[in-house]
Amino acid sequence: MEAAELADLSYPDAAVLAKNLGWKKPLPTPGSKPAKGVLPSVEEGAQIYEDKHGRPKLLASLKEWIGQVPKPTEAHQIALARFPLIFTTTVDGLLEQVGTTLTVQDRQTPFPTSIDAQNPTLIRLRGRLDQPNCLLSKRDIDAQPLSADQRRQLRTLIRNHVVLFVGFRPDEEEFERLFAELSDAYGGELPRCHLAVAQGSIDDYLWQKWVWRGLLMFMADPIEAMQSLESQLV
């Protein structure tokens, strides 16, 4: 395995964060039934909060609500030791704390089409919370779509390497968006991928939904997933 995907290990409960930002469940239109299965959206909440209070206040509030970023875990350490190319949606700086010689790129720079085990690369798909241009809302992300060249580069990587998602839950808005973005870059449904589900059980609906789309899921938090890989690779 040569490429990995780490979710934000320090991120708070998405539903709580979305509601703190001002997200509310859409009211039914006259004559219609209440919407079912609508999950709280951090992206929509961030946009609502920014429109009301401004960008600086949004960033400051997120730093306060997320709290002090913990130290890197064993999952971060193993990931960087074993995976020389990592795409991440995290907005903290924990991976950089581990990888002192790490090359860090954002989504506005060309992606590598080959992997150099001697020079690990971290690609931040959303930036960092301490950067003003961090991608937090749907508007932010839509304003910075991947270029045609980047999609081709991702397609090459996906075809030639195993894709492992670590730290996401199968019902997460963030994972749904990431999977859709990678599928678009690939030009169709992704080849078989693996998802280490961060926490909780996998209900039948989600299991069938993702298996149908070629995703193999198993329950393991990021540290368990990385420890298991490490034991197999030693």
pTM of the predicted model as reported, rounded to 2 decimal places: 0.82
8 A C-beta contact, residue 145 and residue 173: no
148 token code pair: 């045609």
Q: Are residues 23 and 91 in the same domain?
A: no
- Model confidence at 35: pLDDT above 60: no
Q: Are residues 166 and 61 in the same domain?
A: no
pLDDT tens track for 120-171? 899 999 998 888 889 999 899 999 999 999 999 999 888 888 888 888 888 8
- Model confidence at 3: pLDDT above 60: no
Choosing from 66, 81, 98, the residue where a domain stops is: 66
Q: Count Cβ atoms below 10 Å from residue 107 Cβ, excluding itself.
A: 19
Q: Are residues 93 and 205 in the same domain?
A: yes
pLDDT reported for residue 234: 67
Q: Are residues 111 and 203 in the same domain?
A: yes
Q: Are residues 48 and 110 in the same domain?
A: no
pLDDT tens track for 186-225? 988 888 788 888 766 788 888 888 888 888 888 888 888 8
pLDDT reported for residue 100: 66
Q: Are residues 42 and 99 in the same domain?
A: no
Question: Which residue, among 171, 211, 169, 219, has the nearest Cα to 193 in the 3D structure?
Answer: 211
User: At what angle are helices 74-82 and 222-233 packed, to 10 degrees?
Assistant: 40
Domain of residue 178 covers 3-10+70-233
Residue 93, helix vs strand vs coil: coil
pLDDT reported for residue 1: 36
Q: Are residues 125 and 158 in the same domain?
A: yes
Which residue type is seen at 39? L
pLDDT tier for residue 58 given thresholds of 50, 70 and 90: very high
Q: Are residues 174 and 89 in the same domain?
A: yes
DSSP string, 96-111: HHH-TT-EEEETTSPP
User: How many domains are contained in the chain?
Assistant: 2
Q: Are residues 128 and 154 in the same domain?
A: yes
